[in-house]
Amino acid sequence: MATTINDLLQRLEGSVQREKQFTADASHEIRTPLTAIRGMLEVLTRKKREPEQYEQKIKLVINEVDRLHALIDQLLQLARLESARVPVNMAPVELHEFMEDLASKWTPRLYQKKMTLRLQIPVQVIVTTDTSLLRFILDNIMENAYKYGNSGGHIECSWHMQDKSLTISDNGPGIPEIHLSHIFDRFYRTDSSRSSEVQGVGLGLSIAKKMADLLHIRLTANSREGEGTAFILFFR
């Protein structure tokens, strides 16, 4: 009994510490765009400026507001997932058609970086899943490949019948091994991803992992520096 109680107290303490860290991380991420917005507005009020300068700063403020809006949406989504309040509607899905639809959405954006998307999904592959949640998972993986992938690179989506897995791989810079085990952690971003040119707060893959768990999909990642990254979804 004493051992059971000690184990329970340790789990509770760990849960409290994780929530404290989450609160601290969320507060920091929210303050960052708010600080930027305040700074830009203060600059505008110091002296009269040309209309072009006002327009430039206003566009920057709008970008920060959009960033804040996206962050709040992700935090709410994460809260719903962790409180088990996300409805799951499982149904048979023809994967080839589903991925074709996903590809049509991503092709224009990939074209901007001269990236190509290759689909190797046999016709008539059926998986049982929730299409809305699966689309969110794959969009986050695609977003990751798009943001960190090399210009002129490629993304490949392939189905492996033997283990019923879907692999989304890119030939980008890859993820250092020291970071790979943390990429599904909340707010975790590798050093190279903290560049101001790469937008994000490190919640997308964490949410994708929790959604995969809801769908009984095992989501893993493999990567080698300089060779690219592969996300693998194992279906039941």
Query: Model confidence over 122-155: pLDDT tens digits?
Result: 998 999 999 988 998 999 899 888 888 888 999 9
CA distance 130 to 213: 12
User: Could you tell me if 21 and 49 lie in one domain?
Assistant: yes
Which residue bears the tokens 């430039």? 56
Number of domains in the chain: 2
What pLDDT, on the 0 to 100 scale, is given for residue 195?
Answer: 41
**Residue 86: predicted pLDDT:** 76
Q: What is the pTM of this model?
A: 0.69
CATH number at residue 12: 1.10.287.130
Q: Amino acid letter at 88?
A: V
**What's the confidence (pLDDT) of residue 24?**
57
| Residue range(s) defining the domain that contains residue 54 | 2-82
Q: Let me know whether 218 and 107 are in one domain.
A: yes
Strands 228-234 and 165-170, by their bridges, are antiparallel
Question: 27, 58, 82: which is the final residue of a domain?
Answer: 82
Listed residues 57, 82, 107: the one ending a domain? 82
Residue 102 has pLDDT above 80, yes or no: yes
Token pair 């990642």 is found at: 221
Tens-place pLDDT, residues 188-214: 765 544 344 445 546 788 888 988 998
Residues 25 and 124 in one domain: no
End-of-domain residue from the set 41, 64, 82: 82
Does residue 164 have a pLDDT over 70? yes
Q: Does 73 lie in the same domain as 150? A: no
* Residue 109 amino acid letter: R
